Structure 1
Amino acid sequence: MDSEEEMYDESEEEEVSDDDHNMVMEPEVSSTTATYDSQDETYPHEVLSPEMIVQHMIDCIKDVNTIVELPATITRILLNHFKWDKEKLIEKYYDGDQEKLFAEAHIISPSRRGQASGSSNQVSVSSTTRSTRSRAAATGRSADCEICFSTLPTTVMTGLECGHLFCEQCWSMYLTSKILHEGISETISCPAHVCGILVDDATVMRLVRDQRVRLKYQHLITNSFVECNRLLRWCPAADCGRAIRVNYVDSKPVTCTCGHRFCFSCAESWHDPVKCFWLKKWVKKCDDDSETSNWIAANTKECPKCQVTIEKDGGCNHMICRNQSCKADFCWVCLGPWEPHGSSWAALQRYLHYCNRYMNHMQSLKFEHKLYAKIKAKMEEMQKHNMSWIEVQFLKKAVDVLCQCRQTLMFTYVFAFYLKKNNQSIIFEDNQRDLEQATEQLSEYLERDITSDILIDIKQKVQDKFRYCDTRRSVLLAHVHEGYEKELWEYQGSL
């Protein structure tokens, strides 16, 4: 990407070589803008294209540099150390212990470099390597590379402010290995074994000539910027490459320009009414219990005591081995002793009840997404029977509502699984049941073949049903949110 060829926009009073200018990144700002649906407007967010992400990173560095007046690449390392929390960095910078700050960030303190700080946009990002080389030249015309141990002219030797010198060929090989093979960018340290001082972006861009490696480095830096910044999150949709920017972190829905809608806090598909904590717990439980669920489908097992093969021919999971010398009394599911399994079997059956409904709605949602193509054909068919384009839009709206209801219902079963029974949970289950029945009826209407003789009838039924579904979904969610606000819900946290 040519627009990412140069790392940061800054200049210096002293002469800067052409190589140094290659470090300045001048992104082309995309015209991509955020789009929200009505439910996302209460949580403002901005969609950033890859170019906009780079520009945002540069702007963050410049904002800090107007205060701390440091080289841009050093500021970038400090910001990364504080996970791009500008306020926290500035607070720590002026708390009186800057030496400790730079040591913790693995940077040589500017006060130890003997350089004037100057303006934030007038400090050369390559001055560190030039000053090190100058000191080496002053002591002699040659030096030993600490990697290959070759004695070489100081004109081909370079290093960081720590003073460790290496030939440029070894530097290039070392940086290439770190970037390409290890996927490291922001934590590349001096090659000296006991050093630990971080390599700044300017040094990387000056010593690495391979365009492929330089581009990979820039992408790694950008990726780190997004992943470390609590106010940014990558869109989880496949092959999207955009990020979402917010003003504050919350478990609220955000919508990318690619159309994917997800929870900013956990990056899962938007999961109202269940909270992130319980969804995470549910996903882990499903993963942990997947083998248990598979066991139920098995036809034969071996007796845990005598290893004779037993075939299950009924629904009961309380097994007694028919081997006269064994007579083991065990559970078909886990093969453990049956005596303590009364409650655990009931718990497993309860889990499977909610899991099956969760998975069924998930599967139906996938089919519903495919329904858009089928509905498009139906809309074209209806226009052939003297209906305008505007008049047939009710079908698309119906599928939109259907998909929203499926997704909400899917997560209501996660929410319900962890609820304790009380009066509010009974109201919730009634709302859930009502929405589920209406959703199934709407799905059935949309699956019908539309013919000219039933156009008016089917249109009225679909409109009435999707409006009802939309209303009942709103009622269900409003009740859950009221329960959150008033702390009406009680949870079975041990599940």
Structure 2
Amino acid sequence: MMNVDDDILYDDSGNETSGDDVDFVIDDNASNKELQSYDDDYQYEVLSTDDIVQHMVDCIKEVNTVVQIPLTSTRILLNYFNWDKEKLMERFFDGNQDELFKEARVINPFKKVNAVKPKISNKLLGTEECDICFMFFPPTQMTGLECGHRFCYHCWNEYLTTKIMEEGVGQTIACAAHNCPILVDDQTAMRLLKDPRVKLKYQHLITNSFVECNRLLRWCPSPDCSFAIKVTYVEAKPVGCRCGHVFCFACGENWHDPVRCALLKRWQKKCDDDSETSNWIAANTKECPKCNATIEKDGGCNHMICKNQSCKADFCWVCLGPWEPHGSSWYNCNSCSFRYDEDEAKAARDSQEKSRAALQRYLFYCNRYMNHMQSLRFEHKLYASVKDKMEEMQQHNMSWIEVQFLKKAVDILCQCRQTLMYTYVFAYYLKKNNQSVIFEDNQKDLEHATEFLSEYLERDITQENLVDIKQKVQDKYRYCDGRRMALLDHVHEGYEKDSWVYSE
């Protein structure tokens, strides 16, 4: 059996820009992180990749002081339980330990293992045969896991490199032997890997797995950001990363108050799939009564000719019957009364009207949602424009502090647009009642105030209108912020009182 050195672990977080050789080292003097809070009562920490590694090491050490097994085995067990220390402890002491280690694919360190005997060569005494390359090596050039399967160092290195670099596997690399489920521990992987880049990639995979599996951790979703957020409990609350990105910890989307995560997910799926395409087809097309080809009416005449070359049926757009009985007049569907079915025709009209109404309703809310989203995408241009105006105002004998009201106005404008964007998702699924009417009134007030604020910020600033514009901007952004908070408070009150009723 291999000896497992307990003095291991994880140093570099997997920052793949480094090219130096690395070892896993524990830093016991890591500084404590201060809790932050974007929301009044929801505290969290922003962790760098080094902080994440140290947090992982601390979790492993904390558990290992109790279970007293090799650190790398502890890491594998924790990963198996998605880094839930309580579940691991409960299972470790209350369950069947043999079964636990088997499920986690770790050799039980408390039992003597009947390891596979080395494959000694009969041709070359004192050598072992590698079952991967089928070459003979001295025992010192062969190694393996506690399961006893041994291979040459070169084959191990090639096997691990392929798993890590090509397959992207880190925490669940199994023994190289056929059908052996035992996982390669971190110490062995780092000892056998030769290329520093592969080692760093392996560390990156282990660290990423730690964050992805841990329900109290979440990577910042902003592109190219390497920070993670650590919370004490999971809730749909806003968290702000050091990069400036604010998102919902529960779902990882941009902060989406007042709509809840489930409804937002439902909306995004509706926008992504083909449901609205189907609605448009149902509302604006019919099928040829002969070949069932889908046809769109592109003119005023109700005389339709199917363009399917193998069909070319002549039929009436209104009743879908053959065109010939309609006579030579422009349109007289009543001449087909012997074929007219009132119930069937009413059902068809009702179905098409419902599809058309559903499509129009969706487009109403979607267009407004997309309009605010588009405006937010120009946020950086707006800040740049305001920065120029602030510099211009300082040239009109205003101090740096005095012109900060413009940046404050843009901050509130962007907050209002983001809130408004998600109110249209909330409103789309909302059924009419007294509370929904109040919500729509609040939404309308905020919409109007936001557009006025946006208009003020786009005005030219001169020496003559400087004082007037400042006063109007300050008054308007304070009003906008107040209306936004009133809207959100009303929605949250409705959540608490269960006032909102949603459509199916």
Give the TM-score of the pair, scaled to structure 2: 0.82
Determine which of 298, 312, 336 is the counterpart of 1:312.
298
Measured in 1, the distance between the counterparts of 2:53 and 2:222 equals 20
Answer yes or no: is the 8 Å Cα contact 2:442–2:487 preserved in 1. yes
Structural RMSD (CA):
3.2
Q: Compared with structure 1, are the counterparts of its residues 321 and 340 closer, same or farther at alpha carbon in structure 2 (3 Å cutoff)?
A: farther
**8 Å contact from structure 1 (residues 329, 338) kept in 2:** no
| Whole-angstrom distance in 2 between the partners of 1:25 and 1:226 | 19
Matched, 1:403 2:414: yes
Aligned-partner Cα distance in 2 for 1:302–1:340: 14
Alignment deviations for residues 252-288 of structure 1 (CA, whole Å, 9 cap, x no partner)? 0000010000000000000000000000000000011
- Once residues 289 and 28 of structure 1 are traced to their aligned partners in structure 2, the CA distance between those partners, rounded to angstroms, is 54
Q: How many Å separate the matches in 1 of 2:278 and 2:389? A: 40
Question: 1:69-104, CA deviations, whole angstroms, 9 ceiling, x for partnerless residues?
Answer: 111110000000000011111111111411111011
Identity over aligned residues, as a percent? 63
How many Å apart are 1:230 and its aligned residue? Answer: 0.4
TM-score normalised per structure 1: 0.84
Pick the aligned partner of 1:424 from 429, 432, 435: 435
1:357 matches 2:368: yes
Are 1:24 and 2:10 an aligned pair?
no
Aligned to 1:325: 314
Deviation at 1:368, TM superposition (A): 3.6
Q: Distance in 1 between matches of 2:76 and 2:185?
A: 7
- Distance of 1:427 and 1:383 partners within structure 2: 43
2:333 aligns to what?
A: none
Which letter maps to 1:371? L
Structure 2 distance, partners of 1:290, 1:460, is: 48
- Distance in 2, Cα, partners of 1:35 & 1:443: 35
TM-fit CA distance, 1:149: 2.5
Aligned length, in residue pairs = 451
Amino acid of the residue matched to residue 327 of structure 1? C
1:322 CA displacement: 2.7
C-alpha deviations, 1:432-472, integer Å up to 9, x for none?
00000000000000011111110011011000000000000
Deviation sequence 1:354-394 (CA, Å, 0-9, x none): 10110011111222442111111111111111111111111
What's the counterpart of residue 234 of structure 1? 219
Unaligned runs of 5+ residues in structure 2 are 1-6, 12-20, 306-312, 321-346
Q: Name the residue aligned to 1:8.
A: 9
2:379 pairs with 1:380: no
* Aligned mates of 2:353, 2:296 — CA distance in 1: 21
- SS of 1:254's partner is strand
Cα offset, 1:170, TM superposition:
1.1
Q: What secondary structure is seen at the aligned counterpart in 1 of 2:46? A: strand
User: Which residue number corresponds to residue 155 of structure 1?
Assistant: 140
CA distance in 2, matches of 1:473, 1:268: 20
Q: For the structure 1 residues 445 and 303, does the alpha-carbon distance in structure 2 shift closer, same or farther, using more than 3 Å as the test? A: farther
Contact 1:27 1:54 in 2 (8 A): no
Hey, what's the Cα distance between the residues in 1 that align with 2:241 and 2:81?
A: 27
Paired letter, 1:8? L
Partner residue, 1:146? 131
Change in 2 beyond 3 A, CA 1:285/1:191: same
For residues 275-306 of structure 1, give each alpha carbon's deviation from its aligned partner in whole angstroms, at most 9, with x where no partner exists. 0000000000001147629968xx99996866
Residues 10, 203 of structure 2: 8 Å contact kept = no
SS at match of 2:316: coil
Aligned-residue offset at 1:31: 7.7
Report the CA distance between 1:163 and its aligned residue: 1.6
* One-letter code aligned to 2:62: D
User: CA–CA distance in 2 between the matches of 1:193 and 1:47?
Assistant: 43
Partner of residue 274, structure 1: 259
Which letter maps to 1:248?
Y
What is the distance in 1 between the residues matched to 2:135 and 2:294?
72
